[in-house]
Amino acid sequence: MKKRLRVSRVLLYVVLTAISIMFLLPFFYALYTSFLPLQYVDRIVSFDKFTINNYITLFTKFNVGRWYWNTFIMTLITVAGNVILDTMAGYALAKFRFRGRNIIFIIVLASMMVPFQLIITPMYIMIAKINWHNTIAGLTIPFLYSPIYIFMSRQFFITIPREIEEAATIDGLSKAKTFFKIILPISGSVIASIIILNFTTTWNAYLVPSTFVTDRDKFVLVVGLRTVNDMHFARPNLVMAGVVLTTLPVLLLFLRFQKHFVQGIATTGLKV
């Protein structure tokens, strides 16, 4: 019996490790290939053959620095907007008594169900009409809020005990001040969840940036990467350097905030 248990344990580790390799192999392939000169692609070579030329080419010939900057600014503005506006709305829905609260909450839930393709065509027309195509404004302003994070922060704030707010009221703080001075500072976990989830979605977004932006200088990384892949598919080493540059910031952020990433998915995912 004991022996059988140990055998099944070993088997479990073997399977889990095999799956880990399946999940990690594409990443290692990309990282490894990105350091190779073209003639060594798909071959096993020693480290002394490695080169950073692919990265240098991307920065000097493909404007990757510019794409990085555009992506960074787009993500920064969007995440900042979502953190501030969605928590404010979520807090109002969780803690304030006012007419229309239930209706607004139902609208939030209903908005999550409408697929994006129903919105993007008129959105594009509107963006084009006000000359926001090829601008950061067009990529950020419509996305400064998100029903899912409003819902997420409402679920979080509802768990904060009333006593905290009552104590603040007794101390003479207004409702708004209570939120900004007392509640937000103790809401790090939900804020971190919004940041990591919203950061990854915005950084990785393809459909909107590829549609709203046609000027190569205004590209974000993902869109730029796709054009490198389209035009230089015969140079895997170059394309993989692009893959590494695109994914690295998200990976680092994920490793740092994994706990909040999991929490965010769990609180929203289980209830939608």
Partner 1 sequence: MGQTVKTLARSRRSEEITAYLFLLPVTVLWFVWFLIPTAYSMFISLYKYSFVAVSQNHFVGLDNYIRALTDPAFYKALRNTLFLTFVAVPAQSLIAFVLAMALNLKIKFRDIFRTIYYVPYVVSTIAVTTVFMYLFVKGSPLNKFLSLLGFDNVTWYVDFKLALPFITIVYVWQQIGFYIVIFLSGLQTVPNELYESSEVDGANPFQKTIYITVPMLKPVIFMVLAYGMIHALQIFDQVAAVAQNQPLGSPAGATSTLVSFFYVQSFKNWEMGYGSAIAVIIFLIIFIFTMIQKKLMGSEE
- 200-259 residues in contact with partner 1 (CB under 8 A) are 200, 203-204, 206-207, 210-211, 222, 225-226, 229-231, 233, 236, 239-240, 242-243, 246-247, 250-251, 254-255, 258
Q: Which is nearer to partner 1, 107 or 186 (CB)?
A: 107
144 binds partner 1 (CB under 8 A): yes
- CA dist 27 and 71 (Å) reads 21
Rounded least distance, CB 65 to partner 1, Å: 18
- CA dist 70 and 222 (Å) reads 11
Burial classification of residue 103, based on how many CB atoms lie within 10 Å of its CB (0-12 exposed, 13-18 middle, 19 or more buried): exposed
The single residue among 16, 18, 103, 170 that binds partner 1, judged by CB under 8 A, is 16
123 binds partner 1 (CB under 8 A): yes
Rounded least distance, CB 89 to partner 1, Å: 5
Neighbours of 263 (CB within 10 A): 19
* Own/partner pairs, 95-104, CB within 8 angstroms, 24+ separation: 95/157, 95/158, 95/160, 95/165, 96/175
CA dihedral 25, 27, 31, 36 (to 10 degrees): 50
User: What's the N-to-C CA distance of the chain in angstroms?
Assistant: 44
The SS3 call for residue 97 is coil
Query: The tokens of 265 are what?
Result: 């998915």
Q: How many residues bind partner 1 (CB under 8 A)?
A: 90
- Window contacting partner 1 (CB under 8 A); options: 47-55, 59-67, 110-118, 154-162: 110-118
Q: Which is nearer to partner 1, 33 or 218 (CB)?
A: 33
- Window contacting partner 1 (CB under 8 A); options: 26-34, 48-56, 61-69, 155-163: 26-34
- Window contacting partner 1 (CB under 8 A); options: 48-56, 60-68, 136-144, 185-193: 136-144
- CA dist 133 and 125 (Å) reads 10
Rounded least distance, CB 12 to partner 1, Å: 6
Could you give the angle at the alpha carbon of 30 between the alpha carbons of 25 and 32, nearest 5°? 90
Residues of this chain, 43-102, that bind partner 1 according to CB under 8 A = 85-86, 88-89, 91-93, 96-99, 101
Rounded least distance, CB 224 to partner 1, Å: 10
Q: Which of 215, 198, 247, 231 is nearest to 68 (CA)?
A: 247
42 binds partner 1 (CB under 8 A): yes
29 binds partner 1 (CB under 8 A): yes
Residues of this chain, 158-187, that bind partner 1 according to CB under 8 A = 174-176, 179
**Please, are residues 153 and 87 in contact by the beta-carbon 8 Å criterion?**
yes
261 binds partner 1 (CB under 8 A): yes
Rounded least distance, CB 94 to partner 1, Å: 11
Rounded least distance, CB 123 to partner 1, Å: 5
